[in-house]
Amino acid sequence: MNIILVGPRGAGKSKVSRTLSKQIQFPVVSTDSVIVYENGGIPIPKFVEQKGWKAFRDLEYSILSKLQNADGIILDCGGGILFDLDENGNEIPSERKLSILRKLGRIILLEKDFNELVEKVEGDKTRPDLAKNKAYAEILKKRLPVYYESSHYKINMSKLSKEDAADKIKDLLGFPD
């Protein structure tokens, strides 16, 4: 069994995945870290600037394809893992990536208060711009329904510590304490 953490930027996926990993001894695979590794250490903002969002989304798909036979991992997914771009460059739900994720394991959405997410992420230079003309809040409003529809479980992180969230995931999936 694999545990797949999805959700918007700033929801706590990376922190919860590392905490959960220590508790259940599953290794963490971060899609964003693999992308950086596979591109010679080029940071994601620079990759997106040089090659564009479509190339980034295609690389996510390639990584998920390579992980199809994995077992016993925690997959820490980038915030846009559930999305691709249409021919006009607009974000659309990614059936190809969601299909792999559903076969791979249980998808757990980590959610936070909308305003808390926007406040945490806007202006963060370590993350690539999602769009030059759209605010994160606007993008988040479009993405939230896809996160909800795609997930097996949802955990609201607004009042939980990373340890509490990890415990909740273990309970949901039947791991012993």
Binding positions are 10-15, 32, 57, 79, 127, 143
Q: Which residues define the annotated binding site for Mg(2+)?
A: 14
Per the structure block, which two tokens stand in for 89?
């460059």
Q: Which residues define the annotated binding site for ATP?
A: 10-15, 127
Q: Which residues define the annotated binding site for substrate?
A: 32, 57, 79, 143
Q: How many CB atoms lie within 10 A of CB 86?
A: 9
Q: Which residues contact 74 (CB under 8 A, 6 or more apart)?
A: 2, 3, 4, 5, 17, 20, 21, 26, 27, 28, 29
Q: Among candidates 15, 9, 7, which has minimal Cα distance to 166?
A: 15
Cα distance from N-terminal residue to C-terminal residue, the chain: 17
